[in-house]
Each structure stands twice: as C-alpha cells, then as structure tokens.
Amino acid sequence: MNTPQSRRVCDLVYETFATQGRAPSVAELARLTQSTIESVQDNLDDLAEAHALVLAPDRDAVRMAHPFTAAPMAFVVTPADGHDDRRWWGGCAWDSFGISAALNLEVRIDTACPQCGAAISFVSGPATAPPAELVVRFPRPAALWWDDVVGTCTMIRTFCNRDHAEQWTVDNAPGSGFIADATAVWRLAGPWYGDRLHPDFQPHSREHNQQLLDECGLTGPFWQLP
C-alpha cells in the first residue's frame, strides 16, 4: 500500500468483502478508481507481493483478503442476529473469528470436525468466546505460512475437542502441527484483525504481531514469525 492508488484498490477490496461477501473484479476496481485494468492489475500485484492480498493462481482475481476469502473453504460465517443476510466464507478457523473482529459483529460460525465429520455451529463475537471444548489445529509453523498461504488456511481447522485433533494428527500428519484452544485463537483474532477495516489502518509490523501471539500464549519456535 505504498501509493494512494494501491491503498484505494486495497480499501475497495475490503469494503466489497465486508458489505457484499465477495471480491470485486479487476474491471470493477478499474471503474471505481477511474483507472485502467492494467494499472489496477499492477496495484494488485504490488499488494500481493506485500502480503496485503492473495491473488488467484492466474493473478487475475483476488483470492483472499484476510480474513475474507473469495472462494468457499471450510467455514461459513453469518450475522448472528438473523436479520442481516450477508454471508462470508471463512478461510480458516482463525479468519472466521477475524471476520467477526473486523466487522465488530456477533456471528454464527458453521464448519465440521475433520476427524468425525460432526457439524460444529456456534455463535461468537468480539465479546463472545467460542465453546471451551473446541480446539484449532495449525498445520505448519508461522515462518512457513506464506510459502503456501491458501494451503495453510485450508488446514487451520476447528475440531470438536482435543482428542479428535490429536487422533486426526496421528492418522494424517504425525508429528506435525500445533493444537491450540479455540479461545486462544479467538483472543488473537481481535487485535490482529479488529482494525482491518478502519479508514486509517496501517499494516502491523512483525514485532507487533509477534507480541500479539505472545500475549495469547502462542509462544515458542512454532510461533516465530519470519
């Protein structure tokens, strides 16, 4: 977000996700910024390089703008009050909490336990913690998240309980990952994403984010950011 144009493009991407649950097209962004498709594509490339956005494999569309994703993954997030018909795809367990934090909105999160397939549905919000028995499994250390960020997000999943997460790990990825209490991930999502839609938002520094992880008890080599 080094130029006013790229900042405007980024803000429009987030605004469209927040209000409509989808990513704007490149042509739409060009129209809204009174620019060319080529110029917007250059902006998107720069934003992706800075990890402000994630582009689709062909780099012709926005794939993710954390905590939002343009394609269905394992989580559906809807307003909890039932009177707001917006819907968002949650890229992962953490991002689902992040959508609530970014919008300052109590939401219902729907997913399924990867181990037993049972539906998991609960209400969470800035002041409403998830059920205490739920856990979230992270597939790889923080230093490797952006090596394949979509793949990382795909595998940050919510499990019914710790036993299910541990058994899934034994069966599918022995000796890897980290299982965290869902309440710790919920606490992390608030300050990590809570300011994302503010008009004066500035990307957090590595040091700032590392401190947020530490404050949520997510410490040690697994949680060291690159």
Q: Could you please report the per-residue DSSP string of 104-155?
A: T--EEEEEE-TTT--EEEEEEBTTBPPPTT-EEEE-S-GGGGGGGHHHHHHT
Per residue in 37-88, pLDDT (tens digit) is: 999 999 999 999 999 999 999 999 999 999 999 999 999 999 999 889 999 9
Within this chain, domains 4-60 and 75-223 share the same CATH topology = no
Instruction: Measure Cα distances from 49 to 22, 52, 151 in Å.
Output: 21, 8, 17
Domain ranges of the chain: 4-60, 75-223
For 75-223, the fitting CATH number among 3.30.300.30, 3.40.1160.10, 3.30.450.410, 3.40.50.10480 is: 3.30.450.410
Q: Which CATH architecture has domain 4-60?
A: Orthogonal Bundle (1.10)
For the cut 90, the answer to whether the pLDDT of residue 2 exceeds it is no
Q: Rounded to whole angstroms, how far apart are CA atoms 220 and 223?
A: 6
Per residue in 86-125, pLDDT (tens digit) is: 999 999 999 999 999 999 999 999 999 999 999 999 999 9
Asked whether the bond before 67 is cis by omega within 30 degrees of 0, the reply is: yes
